Amino acid sequence: MLTAGIDEAGRGPLAGPVVACAVLIPGGAEIPELIRDSKKLSETQRAAMHEFITAQYQYGIGQADNLEIDRLNILQATFLAMRRAVAALQEKITPELCLIDGNKPIPGLKIPQKTVVKGDAQIKAISAASIVAKVTRDRLMLELHAQYPQYNFAEHKGYGTPFHIAAIKHYGRSPVHRRSFTYPGENEQQGLFRLA
C-alpha cells in the first residue's frame, strides 16, 4: 500500500507560517537510521536527512501563513497546510493511506487517513515528514530574518524567547507576526499563547 506520513512544524511560534510535509517512502527504499523525530536530531543531522529525503523519496510541502493562521486559528491553519502538502504530493503520486502525526484527523482530506499519537517517533514516513517540515520552516525563517533582522528570527525561528518578546515590545509586531497570539505583558491571564 502506498502510505504517506504527514507532520508539521511551527504551530507554537509567534511569527511566520506553519509548514506541513507529506512523505511517501517507496517500498524497498533505503531508510537511514537518522530518519527519526526531527526534535531528536541536531541542525546538521536534520539538514543532511532533508537532503537525503528530498532526493530519494516522493514528498509534498504545504504552508499556511500568519494571516491565514489569524483568520482560521492555528489548528485549522495546520490542517490547511497539511491538505496543501498532500495536494503537492499528489502532483507526483497519490497515496492510498495517510498517516497523520497526532490524534486529530485532517478535515476534508479525500484520502483514507489514520492518526498516530507520537507518530514522528514510530513511523519512518512521519519522521521524514517532520524533518522536511522543520528544515523548510527554519529556512523560511532565515529569509524573514533578512527582512526583519531586529527580531533575530535566525536564532529563535519565531518562538517566544525572552529576546523575541522584548523585541516585539520594543519594535511592535512585524507584518509576519501572528496577531491572534499573545505574549506575557499583553495578556497575563491567558499566558504565552492564545488561539483566535
Quickly list DSSP for 79-126.
HHHHHHHHHHHHTT---SEEEEESS-PPTT--S-EEEETTGGGT-HHH
Residue range 135-177, pLDDT digits in tens: 999 999 999 999 999 999 999 999 999 999 999 999 999 999 9
Q: Which CATH architecture fits 3-137?
A: 2-Layer Sandwich (3.30)
Count Cβ atoms within 10 A of the Cβ of residue 46 and give its class: 0-12 exposed, 13-18 middle, 19 or more buried.
Answer: buried
Per DSSP, the residues of 150-177 read GG-HHHHTT---HHHHHHHHHH---TTB
Given pLDDT bands bounded at 50, 70 and 90, which one contains residue 182?
Answer: confident
Q: Enumerate the domain spans of the chain.
A: 3-137, 146-190
How many CA atoms lie less than 13 Å away from 175 in the CB half-sphere? 3
∠ CA 166-147-137, rounded to 5°: 85
- In this prediction, residues 42-68 reach a mean pLDDT of 97
pTM of this prediction exceeds 0.95? no
